[in-house]
Amino acid sequence: MEVTMIRPFLLLVACAAILSGCSDEAASPLQFGADPNLPAPRRGLLPDMTIALPADRGEELPTVPQGFKIQPIATGLAIPRQTLVLPNGDILVAEGSGGSAPALRPKDLIANRIKSMGKTNAKGGNRLTLLRDTDGDGTYETRSIFADNLNAPYGLAFVNGAIYVANQDAVVRFDYRDGETQASGPPVKVTDLPSAINHHWTKAMTASADGRFLYVGIGSNSNITERGMDAENDRAMVWQIDAQSGAHKPYATGLRNPTALAIQPGTGQLWAVVNERDEIGPNLVPDYLTSVREGAFYGWPYSYWGQNVDPRAQPQNPEKVASAIRPDYSLGSHVAALGLAFSAPVMGADFADGVFVGEHGSWNRNPAVGYKVVFVPFRDGRPAGDPIDFATGFLTEDGKARGRPVGVTLDPRGALIVADDLANTVWRISASQPASVSATGQSEPPETR
């Protein structure tokens, strides 16, 4: 980074530190599980701001567990966000960047400037790129533009022979024939999505197990209702959309920014990772992983982690607070979870049952958290135990960022696909010696085969 950029950055950080005020509160990352420690809220004129400045990746690879290997399968992309593995093994990559929310307050200008320093200089592609491994060796020799001229594509789903894309303003559909490397026609609109202001522009998406419904996450239009409640109509919720007709309804509400959605295999249960609110301290409010119940309310903006009231939300609504549901699992405050994928026995015994979560990384916490992919183990269909680091090394020892994970997708052939929107790379993490899967669905280590 040029010196001319570092100087304004240091000035802004100094202003943030002075205006945020001092605190004896330690920034502890240990907020995992169903019952996280929630300190008293702490407010200042500015939130804590500590962004990890980009660093050249060079030849360094992220670190993965013993027995696994990681390789870049596509580089030089145009801000990859989420990926989709098609039935034939091809990978679609949604590339783009959206949002148009104007700053409301002087501190928004400072925060936006600091956050921008942790991003890539690349321009969003507004396209879908297709990657193909022609011989099944884990190297993707073919790369093509499947579709372009999209509007900040993010969520992806494959349903009944069609590819669905959640742009920042609409869900669209491409008819698909197996093996196509380019869309055979323009996209067909399924339904419009809320896109005015677009403080949170990303539209996460997944499909029900039977393919009948799409679920789309729609983030709030503010941190904590600074733009008024009218701006939050149809926001901070998950929509259920009929994949054929486009008819839709709110499925669950009070989810500030549901950034990734997934269906749990075998149960059909919808799960989400959610980015919670800012500006009340380094340890509030935990981002979380949760099952999403139809008709449920998860607190935003009136309360957090169940019924902890947030007095900043005006007007207050005690009835809504009383109905707020606690999330299932805390991932820690400000980790910025943006990816979610259920695992399978093909990933080996240690990672067979649970979810992978891509953590984009904090901008308002010191020390920084996130900047990695974690695995949350499950037992009997529920989270059980602390998260396990699965891909690290995106953050250097001196606090710079070589990458920032976003979407994570399980390749049924035995790999985790990770989109990195800072390094503009798609990573593939696979076992050095892939585990076999027995007839009972249990993984078997290589030495037993």
Six token digits for residue 449: 């085969």
Provide mean pLDDT across the span 26-51.
82
The pLDDT of residue 28 is above 90: no
Tell whether 47 is covered by a domain.
Answer: no
Q: According to the model, what pLDDT value does residue 440 have?
A: 41
Tell whether 163 is covered by a domain.
Answer: yes
Q: According to the model, what pLDDT value does residue 186 have?
A: 97
- pLDDT-derived band of residue 106, with 50, 70 and 90 as boundaries? confident
**DSSP per-residue codes, 267-294:** T--EEEEE----SS-TT-SEEEEEE--T
| Selected residue with higher pLDDT from 306 and 106 | 306
Question: CB–CB of 219/258 below 8 Å?
Answer: yes
Tell whether 418 is covered by a domain.
Answer: yes
Tell whether 92 is covered by a domain.
Answer: yes
223-253 burial, b for 16+ CB within 10 Å, e for fewer? bbbebeeebbeebbbbbbbebeebebeebbb
Q: According to the model, what pLDDT value does residue 3 have?
A: 32
Q: According to the model, what pLDDT value does residue 334 have?
A: 96
Six token digits for residue 430: 């696979």
Tell whether 379 is covered by a domain.
Answer: yes
Q: According to the model, what pLDDT value does residue 105 have?
A: 81
pLDDT tens track for 310-359: 999 999 999 999 999 999 999 999 999 999 999 999 999 999 999 999 99
The radius of gyration of the chain's CA atoms, rounded to the nearest angstrom, is 21
Q: For residues 340 and 357, what is the distance between their CA atoms, to the nearest angstrom?
A: 5
Q: Which domain holds residue 234?
A: 3-20+58-448
Q: What DSSP state is assigned to residue 139?
A: -
Q: For residues 20 and 276, what is the distance between their CA atoms, to the nearest angstrom?
A: 20
pLDDT tens track for 181-223: 999 999 999 999 999 999 999 999 999 999 999 999 999 999 9
Question: CB–CB of 403/429 below 8 Å?
Answer: no
Q: For residues 421 and 74, what is the distance between their CA atoms, to the nearest angstrom?
A: 12
The pLDDT of residue 2 is above 60: no
The pLDDT of residue 442 is above 90: no
Q: According to the model, what pLDDT value does residue 11 have?
A: 45
Tell whether 53 is covered by a domain.
Answer: no
Six token digits for residue 243: 């994949």
| CATH number where 354 lies | 2.120.10.30
pLDDT tens track for 248-267: 999 999 999 999 999 999 99
Host H or E run for residue 14: helix 3-20
To the nearest 10 degrees (0 to 180), the angle between helices 106-116 and 3-20 is 140
Q: According to the model, what pLDDT value does residue 443 have?
A: 44
The pLDDT of residue 23 is above 70: no
The pLDDT of residue 240 is above 60: yes
The pLDDT of residue 24 is above 50: no
- pLDDT-derived band of residue 306, with 50, 70 and 90 as boundaries? very high
Six token digits for residue 97: 């960047």
Number of domains making up the chain: 1
Tell whether 400 is covered by a domain.
Answer: yes
Tell whether 77 is covered by a domain.
Answer: yes
